[in-house]
Amino acid sequence: MDDQITYTQKDFKSENEVRWCPGCGDHAIMNSIQRAMANLGRKHEDFAVISGIGCSSRFPYYMSTFGFHTIHGRASAVASGVKCANPNLCIWQITGDGDALAIGGNHFIHLVRRNIDINLVLFNNKIYGLTKGQYSPTTDRGAITKSSPFGTIEDPFNPGKLVIGAGGNFFARSIDSNVKFTQEVFEEAARHEGTSVCEVLQNCVIFNDGVHNAITDPEFRADRQLFLKHGEKMIFGANNEKGIVFEKGRLKAVTIGQDGYTLDDILVHDAEEPTGWLQMLLCSMGLPELPVAFGVIRSVKAPVYDQVLVEQIEEVKASSPIKCMDDLLNSGDTWEVK
Amino acid sequence: MAKEANVVEKEEVFVRFSGDSGDGMQLTGTLFSDTLALGGNDISTFPDFPSEIRAPQGTVAGVSGFQVNFGNTKISTPGDYADVLVAMNPAAIKANIKFTKHGGTIIFDRDSFNEKNLVKAGYKTLDPIAEDKLEDFNIIPVGVTSLTKETLKDLDLDNKSVLRCKNMFALGLICWIFDLKLDHIESYIRTKFRKKPIIVEANLRVLKSGYNYGENIQELTPRYLVNPAEIEPGIYRNISGNVATAWGLLAASEKSGRELFLGSYPITPATDVLQTLANRKDLGVKTFQAEDEIAGICTSLGAAFAGDLAVTSTSGPGFALKSEGLGLAVMAELPIVVVNVQRAGPSTGIPTKTEQSDLLQALYGRNGESPCVVIAATTPSDCFYYAFMAAKIALERMTPVVLLTDGFLANGSEPWKIPSMSDMPAITPNIAKDAATYKAYARDPQTFAREWAFPGMEGFQHRIGGLEKGITGSVNSDFNNHQDMTDARAAKVAQVVDYVPDLEVLGEQEGELLVVGWGGTFGHLATAVRQLRNEGKSISLAQFNFINPLPANTREVFAKFRKIVVCELNMGQFAGYLRDKEPGFEYYQYNKVMGQPFTVHELVDNFKKHLEE
């Protein structure tokens, strides 16, 4: 972190015309990312934005940073290579529910497992937008889409559970329309050392408009959104009158002061708990019984791949008698022919 | 680098079995040689070691052995130096190591390597591999004792009888390695122990266990060694193709000043490239064992974008999986090297057997107009040089380069005169210098190469990707631009001809028959051609290392011969390519897909027919 560095959001905008549909949630997410980048105290040339394929993956072209728009599903692998080659970079991987969890599912879980220091932003609109409206691995069971005219017959991935299940150490959830909150989540993700996955619920205005409306509806959202903060009670509702308790092995939403529940019964959020069992339950929370959890659900310190990679090389270099190619060529079993 | 003209084919193999006198080495050796003889091999055996090759006095007195020398050619004497040593205990290694070829294979019973046996054998440490400097040998540790016990655990046999079956495990393993059928050995066992059915059962089971173990671990023992007939003075070492490939990449990293990154997924017979480089953290290599072949190339693409010398290594089926990534390297114009150690295909094919059938995949196996530089190594040791050249071309011309080797080169080894790094050519990566004028896809007017700028370089921020782009890297779908960019990418690859030396002809520069080959068939083709030249025949050899682009004088060379026969271990891929690229000649073909290299005999027969017609 260099205190001398001051940027604003516009330092991260490129000259390219942004071609997402008017009203697309991607615009807001890009604003949040650009604002977060400006606050990180990192040099502009040390940012690299890596994406796969899909609407969101056009992202690098709209940024003024180094960028690489790769191929479908492979951004996790490409970004891993970039970070290992130069661990000093601040890498942002931009991906969608299809790119990360369907065609790129294997790379995604292995990135998370290795804990390479990459900030992965997963735009989740529960639909394939670029190919015009087929169901994705996060589409709700039964949803009618272009490729499921009678409703899907498969269950979706829950990205948070997938991340924790794969041994991930950082997972946060946000929503496109809440630019300020999303920006804060991104900054926390960027400061986390290791892979950080931020799922952003994003509205596709054309092919899945309103998919998150039940959560975002201004009339009900105070009752349907739980904003988690490490060390604070899990309280929600328009007047902070509701909370989450753990009862009979399950999470339950209660009203404080009713049915004998007091503030003391409400769970305190521990994002740093390593096993992740309760964080997993928080990821699973959903309407209608429970609010949807937002914020940093999991943030655990763990060995970071790219750091250990460099440390191991330095250790071996220090102890090995082989310092250059000529040493290697002449090592071991050699003989002279006269 | 001029090709070694004096290459002879090694068609004999010398195997030495060695163990305690109670280990049954005599029987093992006899059964092995009988099986070889039944398979049509010429053999020569020596059922015990002459006194001068025994271990030094007072060290390993109990060692007993059996040696067998076999091959397609007439074998008159047992050889002095073993290609393969089967050692049942540490004393057997101690006694025989100096009679084992540099880089030869040592199969040993790992279970016997306890402190007691090591001390008895005269080792001073508990690590005989390091103590005897055996790192450059092909070391195959096998738990012979424990696997034998495990095989027989449900038979009602005493421990002593179980341990007596150990030799059958070793025998089964070595039979797998040399493609020998077990029939003869099995019938011997049935006859010999016919009065003790349980012993028959035990020996048969252990024999089969050893054989299956070979298949399971897909152990690849070099069977064919290409040795220069005349050796120049100098310091030598033994080197296999895979190690040479890895070292060539390391050398390129040092020369270019770019860190080496290898993204790779284990696959037979290419895995040794990954393993060799994983051991070279002392030279700063970053090896990344990826979750799959696709991630292997994609992590490399990321590393290339970030300024590393980036490489991915694989074999045929893995190369197929990398196609899309390679297309991205073509489109984004990133410098990566893809090493394909070819094996018999299609699909999974025969992983442990050699073939040259990925040539067209390397040239054309991608969507769109997607030209790549394709080069091939011709001997185990020149994998070093061609891996180096692949990296040099990639870094200087900003293009992916495919290096084709094969299972034969990869696992074959030969003595190699150690080069000095000061003699290797310089590598100057095409790194951008002026941020004010930098455009990601502005090209050098002569080479058509773009300049390389990577994250961390102040003022060079730009975006690249798999979409067609304009000069800045921004997306551009204009039809004229797409044509121009397609032309430029093709011209850039064609211009790599700057690096391609003229095609050399082994033999007279004109004449009756020109034998054309490429890659790993060189040793056999050169031997066959030389043999016929010694008989006074008008025959020459042109072996290609550069496939795309072809050497500039290719037509000129071809035009000076009455007949051309293209020999390759596939069904005619290079011949077809030549018909397309150098039309106007009649290309005869000699092809073979049996998972084996050519034999000199079959080549000689075929060339004679051509010469007589």
End-to-end CA distance of chain A: 60
Euclidean distance between CA atoms B467 and B511, whole angstroms: 51
- Residue B460 contacts A where some CB pair is shorter than 8 Å: yes
Tell me which residue has tokens 């020996």: B203
Residue A179 maps to a domain = yes
Task: Choose among B378, B379, B386: nearest CA to B252.
Answer: B386
Cross-chain Cβ contact A85/B294 below 8 Å: no
Length of chain A: 338
A311 vs B contacts (CB less than 8 Å): none
Residue A293 maps to a domain = no
Residue A92 maps to a domain = yes
- Residue A67 contacts B where some CB pair is shorter than 8 Å: yes
Euclidean distance between CA atoms A175 and A32, whole angstroms: 11
B418 vs A contacts (CB less than 8 Å): 329-330, 334
- Residue A311 contacts B where some CB pair is shorter than 8 Å: no
Tell me which chain B residue has its CA closest to the CA of residue A64: B461
pLDDT of res. B555 = 98
* pLDDT band for position B181 (cuts 50, 70, 90): confident
Tell me which chain B residue has its CA closest to the CA of residue A103: B294
* pLDDT band for position B4 (cuts 50, 70, 90): very low
Cross-chain Cβ contact A46/B421 below 8 Å: no
End-to-end CA distance of chain B: 35
Residue A115 maps to a domain = yes
Cross-chain Cβ contact B300/A88 below 8 Å: no
* Domain coverage including residue A180: 9-211
Euclidean distance between CA atoms A195 and A110, whole angstroms: 10
- Residue B251 contacts A where some CB pair is shorter than 8 Å: yes
- Residue B303 contacts A where some CB pair is shorter than 8 Å: yes
| H or E segment to which residue A235 belongs | strand A235-236
Cross-chain Cβ contact A84/B261 below 8 Å: yes
B468 vs A contacts (CB less than 8 Å): none
B328 vs A contacts (CB less than 8 Å): 70-71
- Best residue in B139, B261, B286 for a mutation probing chain A (most A CBs within 10 Å): B286
B322-375 pLDDT tens trace: 999 999 999 999 999 999 999 999 999 998 889 999 999 999 999 999 999 999
Cross-chain Cβ contact A333/B136 below 8 Å: yes
Is residue B488 classed exposed, middle or buried when 0-12, 13-18 and 19+ CB atoms within 10 A define those classes?
middle
Give the pairing type, strands B7-9 and B138-142.
Answer: unpaired
Cross-chain Cβ contact B280/A71 below 8 Å: no
B476 vs A contacts (CB less than 8 Å): none
At B605, is the secondary structure helix, strand, or coil?
A: helix
A66, A313, A328 ranked by CB distance to B461: nearest: A66
Who has greater pLDDT, B14 or A329?
A329
Tell me which chain B residue has its CA closest to the CA of residue A338: B233
How large is the average pLDDT for residues A101-119?
A: 98
Residues 6 or more apart from A156 whose CB is under 8 A from it? A126, A137, A138, A139, A140, A141
Instruction: With a cut of 60, say whether residue B48 has pLDDT above it.
Output: no
Single-letter residue type at B200: V
Whether B525 contacts B506, CB under 8 Å: no
Length of chain B: 613
Q: What's the half-sphere exposure (Cβ side, CA atoms, 13 Å) at B114?
A: 5
How large is the average pLDDT for residues B380-394?
A: 97
B237 vs A contacts (CB less than 8 Å): 329-330, 332-335
Cross-chain Cβ contact B236/A337 below 8 Å: yes
Structure tokens at B176: 């797998």
* pLDDT band for position A271 (cuts 50, 70, 90): very high
CATH of the domain at A176: 3.40.50.970
Whether B507 contacts B540, CB under 8 Å: yes
B235, B282, B285 ranked by CB distance to A334: nearest: B235
Task: Choose among A58, A63, A61, A5: nearest CA to A34.
Answer: A63
- Residue A5 contacts B where some CB pair is shorter than 8 Å: no
Residue A253 maps to a domain = no
- Residue A161 contacts B where some CB pair is shorter than 8 Å: no
Cross-chain Cβ contact A89/B456 below 8 Å: yes
Q: Share the mean pLDDT of chain B.
A: 89
- Residue B88 contacts A where some CB pair is shorter than 8 Å: no
- Residue A108 contacts B where some CB pair is shorter than 8 Å: no
Instruction: Give contacts of B 51-70 with A, CB under 8 A.
Output: none
Who has greater pLDDT, B28 or B393?
B393
Q: In this predicted complex, what is the ipTM? A: 0.97
Residue A82 pairs in a beta bridge with none
Residue A155 maps to a domain = yes
Give the 3-state secondary structure of B432-481: CCCCCCCCCCCECCCCCCECECCCCCCCCCCEEECCCECCCCCECCCHHH
B282, B307, B421 ranked by CB distance to A326: nearest: B421
Euclidean distance between CA atoms A6 and B322, whole angstroms: 42
* pLDDT band for position B71 (cuts 50, 70, 90): low
- Residue A336 contacts B where some CB pair is shorter than 8 Å: yes
Q: Which domains does chain B have, with CATH numbers?
A: 7-225 (3.40.920.10), 237-423 (3.40.50.970), 511-612 (3.40.50.920)
Euclidean distance between CA atoms B404 and B387, whole angstroms: 9
pLDDT of res. B127 = 85
A44, A85, A323 ranked by CB distance to B306: nearest: A85
pLDDT of res. B53 = 42
B449-490 pLDDT tens trace: 999 999 999 999 999 999 999 999 999 999 999 999 999 999
Query: Lowest-confidence range among A288-297, B190-199, B295-304, B446-455?
Result: B190-199
Residue A240 maps to a domain = no
pLDDT of res. B27 = 86
Whether B378 contacts B547, CB under 8 Å: no
- Residue A329 contacts B where some CB pair is shorter than 8 Å: yes
pTM score, two decimals? Answer: 0.88
Domain count of the fold of chain A: 1
